Structure 1
Amino acid sequence: MINSGIKWMFLIIGATIGAGYASGRELWQFFGPESGLAIGLFAILFSFCIYVILLISFENSATHYLPVLQKIVGKRLSGLYDAMIILYLFSTTVIMLAGSGATLQAFNFSKWWGIGLISALLIVVFIWDIRGIVSLNTFILPLLIGGLLYVLLLFNMQQDLSLFPDLNHQSNWTAALPFTALNILPLIAVLGAVGNQMKSKVEIWIASIGSGAILGTISYIYNGSLIQISEEILLYEIPLFAILKHYPYIMFLFISILLWIAIFTTAASGILGLVTRFRSFVKGPFWLLAALTIVLMLPLTSLGFSTLIQYLYPLYGVLNLYVLSCLLLYPIINKFN
């Protein structure tokens, strides 16, 4: 049960730490100065919402997200949010593909090499259905988390930064709400596809608390690092590279590879949500449906990585606030029902 809980925890983290998050662009879009309290609230809200989603998915033995979504927002609004999830997963996976292109551009390759590489590997991993994605996350996420924390903590020590926030100056605490809402909607799609594979509620507790604690810790340290290079962020498509310039090239190369893998795991999670949703009425193997989905996405990658995040992420964060409120109130409403 513990191993299974850790497996789902890595699936959650892998779906969250993608191009926007791991690059620092998404964190800077919502947080910045005076956001220590906001990040703490995010970790708590995130864990609670994940617990509710996993519990609903487990109790309904779900194989795709629609039954879970209906429980959360009701049948009347489920159609609207079903369309929103499809649009969200589609557009954010486009962002992941564009992020892969931006990563390889940092090494003076054409962005189309990065987009083509991730597209081909996404099709390959879906030959093993859901098991391929879960196994990939369990193997690579500890490396990503460890590598990212190492670089950020080393940067904080070199800059002599304090890890404790000034609680008298936390004006940006409300950012916790749209940031949590932004990251919750795609996880409904991903976790709604694995309800029939969970065996007990112990797995749910481990996955929800563990993912919230890890993401909250990384977010807090990462945001503090970005504040120190705020004047340089505008010069970089991927803010993490502004931090990595202080280190030897081998460190830059290592973290860039892990960043690309984080992009890959989130893209795989997005396609997983889409494929499991449509597989009930579009017949075909996982890899073929994934290939067709990617072909539809490719023309949109020309919009650019930071441009997509700048406009789409805040919009989704606001639109998803209703889903967040439904998740927070679900235990109370369900008790009365």
Structure 2
Amino acid sequence: MSRSGISSWKVAGAYIGTIVGAGFATGQEVLQFFVFFGTSGIVAIALVTLLFMFFGYVILELGQRLRADSHREVIQYAGGRWLGTLIDGVITFFLFGALTAMAAGAGAVFSEQFGLSSYLGSLLLLGLTLAVVMVGISAVISAISYLVPLLLLSLLGIFIATLWFHPVDWAVVGQATDPRQAPVPFWPLSAINYVSYNLVLAVAVLAPMGKHVLDRSTLRQGAFWGGLGLGVGSLAIFLTVISYLPGILAYEVPMAFIAAQFTPFVQIAYSIILLLQIFTTAVGSLFGFASRLTSQESPSFRWILLGTVAGAFVAGQFGFTNLIRILYPAVGYAGLLMLAGLLLGYGRERWVLLQPAFRRKD
């Protein structure tokens, strides 16, 4: 437990919960970025896990040292005035884009799994998200981190049941997968792109959260367990989805389709959990976007929240799969600037600190 009362598990939970949203939990992200590469997708997930651990800690530590109120302080540090402003714009745009994707994802679940209006799903999600974010960052962190164990256990449950009743046919995997179908048709770049756009989203929560943790070891452990949890979750979804190739490629919500293969109860239960997963990312996205535009104490904060939610509802009508396939890779490429800035800035600082150890003593 850290001196601030935020434990490493809570840090890890908020980290995972910010990223585990509609694209991840439906299986669409894993399908688009890893499944098309076949067995190479497993190596890509291992690389993703290490990158999540490293960059998660860098962002948390910088947020702590810079006393960041939003992602802006960390990004300005990483990229300087000009590049930092550009990266900041990309992040701010994608926070709204991610909220839009969550609204579309909730609508898709309501439509495909419950036979209800997609508009109703989007409105309910955005209304609940708005209510939580209005309370403040403590409620945001709690809402995200407390749901994560349930989310991961549900994924692992579906994964284990699939391996037992419908094991992977690796011969079919080799025939049904083609890297040319992936949005980023080269697995190392696809892995980096995946980390990039996810951290563009996560930095909005990780940076200000770092400010509230005094103990650096808590940040280190939180980043480690958060990255490991994301890697394990991605691998579970990967092995589950490839078990149903090639037919699974036709579904917008692959994991819900797989859940339906067992019993109607499992399908309904997973769909509800899926909505909770969507909710965690929506909360982080709305909070990060609004807090970047104005201070949380500002009288205009609530008006910005209302306007953002209304805009996300309208933009969400573009379609869930389209947003995952087009918006996410595009933001991932732009987010490479952020990763490069973080790597160079953090590495440069560490080099300066190490210099006295290499100087010759007279």
Smaller-chain TM-score range?
A: over 0.9
The aligned runs of 1:56-95 (5 Å cut-off) are: 56-95=62-101
Give the total of aligned pairs. 333
Matched, 1:116 2:123: yes
8 Å CA contact 1:193–1:276 kept in 2: the answer is: no
CA distance in 2, matches of 1:114, 1:160: 33
The answer on 1:152 being equivalent to 2:159 is yes
- Deviation, 1:286, is 5.0
Q: 2:203 matched to which residue of 1? A: 188
Question: Any stretches of 5+ residues in structure 1 without a counterpart?
Answer: none
Quick check: 1:244 aligned with 2:266?
no
Deviations 1:143-188 (A, max 9, x none): 111111111121122233499xx9xxx9834422111112111112
3-state secondary structure, aligned to 2:114:
coil
Specify the alignment match of 1:140 in structure 2: 147
What pairs with 1:140-219 in structure 2 (closer than 5 Å)? 140-161=147-168, 172-219=187-234
**How much does 1:288 deviate?**
4.1
CA deviation digits over 1:268-307, x for unaligned, max 9?
1001111211223993275443222101222111111011
2:268 corresponds, among 231, 249, 253, to: 253
TM-score by length of 1: 0.92
**In the alignment, which of 16, 19, 23 is matched to residue 16 of structure 1?**
19
AA in 1 matched with 2:33: F
Contact (CA 8 Å) 2:158, 2:240: kept in 1 or not?
A: no
Structure 1 position 6 matched with structure 2 position 21:
no
Q: Which runs of 5+ in 2 are unaligned?
A: 180-185, 353-362
Q: CA offset at residue 197 of structure 1? A: 1.0
Contact 2:200 2:335 in 1 (8 A): yes
Partners of 2:311 and 2:78 lie apart in 1 by 30
Q: Secondary structure at the match of 1:74?
A: helix
Pairing partner for 1:51 from 52, 57, 63: 57
| Partners of 1:233 and 1:72 in 2: CA distance | 41
> TM-score, structure 2 length as denominator?
0.86
Query: After superposition, what is the alpha-carbon deviation per residue over 1:191-244, rounded to whole angstroms, capped at 9, x for unaligned?
Result: 122233112102111210001111111111211221222322333211112211
Report how far residue 312 of structure 1 moved.
0.8
Give the alignment partner of residue 268 of structure 1, picking from 269, 273, 283.
283
- Cα separation, 2, equivalents of 1:6 and 1:42: 20
Q: Structure 1 residue 125 and structure 2 residue 132: aligned?
A: yes
Identity across aligned pairs (percent)? 29
